[in-house]
Chain A
Amino acid sequence: MGRRKLSLFSAANYTLLALFGFTMIYPFIYILVYSLNDGKDSMLGALYFYPRQFTLDNYAQIFDNAKIWQAYKITLLRTALGTALHVALCTLTAYALSKKTLPGRTFFTFYIFLPTIFSAGFIPYFITLQKLQLINSFWVYVIPMLFSFFHIVIIRTFLQGIPEELEESARIDGYGDFQIFLKIVLPLSGPVLATISLFIGVAHWNDWFTGAYYVSDKSLIPVQTLLQQMLTEAEALSSSMQRAAQQGGQTINTGAAGSTPESLRMALLVVTVFPILCIYPFLQKYFVKGVMMGSVKG
């Protein structure tokens, strides 16, 4: 009796979770299929798991587009620079705050914690960005994202786990403070630095808001903002085209091939999403630990 109930539950559980897993991955499979299918053909619908009329034309066209290249350049530049600076500066802060002997440590920790429970809100922040001349400049992507309280806490917690004796023995060997940080502490911090790099890298890569609201110069727009602009533009365009395609049905399909705004958008989406999707599974072991440290001790 008990055993039978058990296996029934297990079967239901496996099925439910398999379905759950499918809904997590399928949207990405679908855009991949759509981007590899002829654009006009895709408008007929009934496209599910594999391209009906395989083509690389959509990709060829987006890689041929100067606007997209420029946006990609901005995204890559801000992600690389923003991640490197963020990780470096947060690590320095976290190292200082990890030292229990530091006079004023509690004050400094509170100083960076307070803004997380009471924020000024959007508008005073926006005016501050204006006063600092960051609006409509490339640096608005980098400087306002240099620090994060939660990232500092995660790194600090990790650093506190490094045995004190290691630093002590290095001191006896005549290492200075800076040498200890550089040669003892940093080499041991690989996992946590990888985690934070992933967190902040993804945040930079995915940020569309800054480009949409703080930047008007078209040459400074990152890919995500470009996608957001296409989202609103494409909505009206593609649905009216699709209606036409469905009503006209066969007549449009016969002989006609080529990309549509929608198929180009899907190709751009794939190019934007897949770099991240290829990286994160390898860092999974680390960021799972990072999340735990941040939440438990934060």
Chain B
Amino acid sequence: MRTNPLLKRIWRHRLLYLFLLPAVVWFFLFSYVPLYGIQIAFRDFRFSGGFTGSPWAGLKYFRQFFDYYQSSQLIRNTILISGLKLTIGFAMPIVLAILLNEIRNLKFKKTLQTLSYLPYFVSWVVVVTLMQRLLTPYGGPVNDLLVSSGLLKDPIQFLNNTSWFYQIVIGSDIWKNIGWNSIIYMAAIAGIDQQLYEAAKIDGAGRFRQMWHVTLPGVRNIAVILFILAAGSLMSAGYEQLLLLNGPATAAIGSVLDVHVIGAGIGEGRLSYAAAVGLFQSAIALVLILAVNRIARKVSDVSLF
């Protein structure tokens, strides 16, 4: 009797397919069904009609978004905030890793690393509550310190203030993530061949030149890969943080696409419109990932796929 060798192999792995089954079902329900549901951006969605049963609307909702008088402001704010995060926020963990690498006292280094991970493990709600408490002009320690040391005459209202908004957004983002994001760079630095440093020393390179010519190139590849992954988020500024930090006082510079989608969709029930804005975000994210990936492959030979 002849049996198909592929079928035989499949049958031999039947247990593994059973192991895979929950994942296949789950990803279908929570990733692929929503992907299929993207079409509601082109339809007048009604809950009774479902994804496919609602009447066709074409580009109506995309037009509605681009006609909306604040749409260019929303796009500008989003790109500005995530642009700052992608540059300053992206570079800081690398700087931290390089500086930590120069510390010879292992105990000090280890303690600092442990401390630096700490904010990563708390939620944005906690971070914003902490900032509100620390930065309040009514007896908050930061203002207390600035006033009593004579650096300031009057306490500053840091939160809900347009002149401090971006500093707060970027600062808190760095504070929360810098330690965690430096882990991977610390690992890359640990993997650098020590002989490279020896060779640089023989060539007369001082500490800074060693950092520049040996340590920095050592983290380059991993930095490129992480940047490709991060580039896709240019169109999302971080909804958790901005939902909590942005208020009426800062709306002109703090309203971003991610929060707009949630507000219009869940808050006002304009689901098709919000889906169209969301699709606009996702599409640009995909294009950005592919473009940055391509550029990186050309320029540095490092790419994700």
Contact = CB atoms under 8 A, between A and B. Distances in A.
A63 interface: no
Size bracket of the B interface: 35 or more
A178 B125 contact: no
A209 interface: yes
Nearest to A280: B121
Interface string A34-58: 1000000011111110000000000
Contacts, number: 260
A95 B23 CA distance: 12
B130 A122 contact: no
Contact of A177 (B15, B30, B226): B15
A136 to B, nearest CB: 13
Contacts of B113: 284
A207 interface: yes
Contacts of A89: 22-23, 26
A246 B139 contact: yes
Given A124-B275, A292-B187, A246 B138 contact: yes
B275 A121 contact: yes
A95 B22 CA distance: 13
Interface in B1-47: 6, 9-10, 13, 15-17, 19-20, 22-24, 26-27, 29-38, 40, 45, 47
Contacts of B10: 103
Contacts of B45: 127
Interface in A174-232: 177-178, 202, 205-209, 213, 224, 227-228, 231
Nearest to A34: B133
Contacts of A101: 9, 13
Nearest to A241: B138
A250 interface: no
A20 B51 contact: no
Nearest to B271: A123
Interface in B105-153: 108, 111-119, 121-126, 128-130, 132-134, 136, 138-141, 144
B58 interface: no
Interface stretch (A23-31, A64-72, A160-168): A23-31
A256 interface: no
A262 B19 CA distance: 49
A209 B240 contact: yes
Given A21-B111, A89-B23, A117-B286, A124 B35 contact: yes
B203 interface: no
B34 A96 contact: no
Contacts of B180: 291
Nearest to A246: B138
Contacts of B232: 117
Contacts of B111: 21
A246 B24 CA distance: 60
Nearest to B279: A121
A27 B134 contact: yes
Contacts of B286: 117-118
Interface residues of A, number: 97
A228 B141 contact: no
Nearest to B204: A2
Nearest to A16: B99
B22 A93 contact: yes
Contacts of B38: 120-121, 124
Nearest to A88: B22
A284 B122 contact: no
A45 B123 contact: no
Contacts of A296: 222
A119 interface: yes
Given A17-B100, A92-B19, A45 B116 contact: no
A213 B206 contact: no
A126 B265 contact: yes
Contact of A120 (B15, B34, B96, B208): B34
A226 B169 CA distance: 23
A95 B19 contact: yes
Given A45-B139, A101-B9, A147 B26 contact: yes
Contacts of B265: 122-123, 126
Contacts of A177: 15-16
A125 B34 contact: yes
Interface in A276-294: 276-277, 280-281, 284, 288, 291-292
Contacts of A258: none
A45 B148 CA distance: 12
Instruction: List the 5 closest A-B pairs by CB distance, nearest first.
Output: A45-B139, A121-B278, A124-B37, A242-B138, A206-B123
Given A118-B282, A266-B133, A295-B184, 16 more contacts: A9-B208, A30-B130, A48-B141, A92-B22, A97-B20, A101-B9, A108-B20, A112-B23, A120-B282, A124-B33, A128-B34, A152-B23, A206-B122, A231-B244, A238-B136, A269-B126
13 contacts: A18-B112, A24-B116, A45-B139, A95-B16, A101-B13, A118-B282, A118-B285, A119-B31, A122-B258, A131-B50, A208-B125, A242-B138, A246-B138
Interface of B: 6, 9-10, 13, 15-17, 19-20, 22-24, 26-27, 29-38, 40, 45, 47, 50-51, 96, 99-100, 102-104, 108, 111-119, 121-126, 128-130, 132-134, 136, 138-141, 144, 175, 179-180, 183-184, 186-187, 206-208, 222, 225-226, 232, 240, 243-244, 258, 261-262, 265-266, 271, 274-275, 278-279, 281-282, 285-286, 289
